Amino acid sequence: MPGFGRLGRLPGPFFEGEDLRNFALWLHILGAATWFGANVAQAVIGTKLMRDNAAAPGWLRAVEKSSGPIYGTAAVVILATGIYLVLGSDGAYSFGSVFVGIGIAILIVLGAMGGLVFGRKTKQMIALFDSGKASEVPSIYRSLSSFGILDTVLLAVAVLAMVSKWGA
């Protein structure tokens, strides 16, 4: 398959040169797609399940348990491949390139939002359900949904900056 190296030729590296760069770029894109997909899935599925007081606590527990591994892995993949792509660009791009700076800054903001907003609010809603105060959950969920929109918009801006190579 073009662009994926000489997988049938062993021993030796599977990917080298431009094939390795393309593989890293592919992983970089998959990391962003994973993040975006998880956001959309939570928005669509979560909105429906949060309307049902019997289903909502289980949904929130599943989100709490799986968000760290999903978003954390996506962040590591995005960061590691992004660093590789910059270092392997033969000086065409640097960490001072506008689009690279935007990507790094947004990744930091999204990571912080994950821990400071999404994680905390999810735990807060679980605690409210557990203590019989389900009536207080909808306002918190609406707030969390607004942050979810912000998270997705920032991710889209980062992707646009990368694709357009702003400032390069």
Can you give the pLDDT of all 168 residues of the chain as single tens digits? 444 444 444 445 566 678 888 999 999 999 999 999 999 999 999 999 999 999 999 999 999 999 999 999 999 999 999 999 999 999 999 999 999 999 999 999 999 999 999 999 999 999 999 999 999 999 999 999 999 999 999 999 999 999 999 998
User: How distant, in Å, are the alpha carbons of 4, 126, 158 from that of 104?
Assistant: 27, 32, 9
- Residue in the block written with tokens 């792509």: 85
Structure tokens that stand for 23 in this block: 């593989």
> In this predicted structure, what is the pLDDT of residue 15?
64
What's the angle, vertex CA 149, arms to CA 148 and CA 152, rounded to 5?
85
Residue 10: predicted pLDDT: 42
Q: Which two tokens stand for residue 56?
A: 């909502």
Q: What confidence score (pLDDT) does residue 4 get?
A: 45
Residues, the chain, total? 168
Which pLDDT does position 153 carry in this prediction? 98
Burial of 69 (0-12, 13-18, 19+ CB in 10 A): exposed
The predicted structure's pLDDT at residue 14: 60
pLDDT attached to residue 64: 96
Contact 82, 165 (CB under 8 A): no
- Quote the CA–CA distance of 151 and 111 in Å, as a whole number: 10
- Give the pLDDT of residue 168: 80
Decide if 31 contacts 63 (C-beta within 8 A).
no
- What's the pTM? 0.87
Contact 46, 62 (CB under 8 A): no
Helix, strand, or coil here: 35? helix
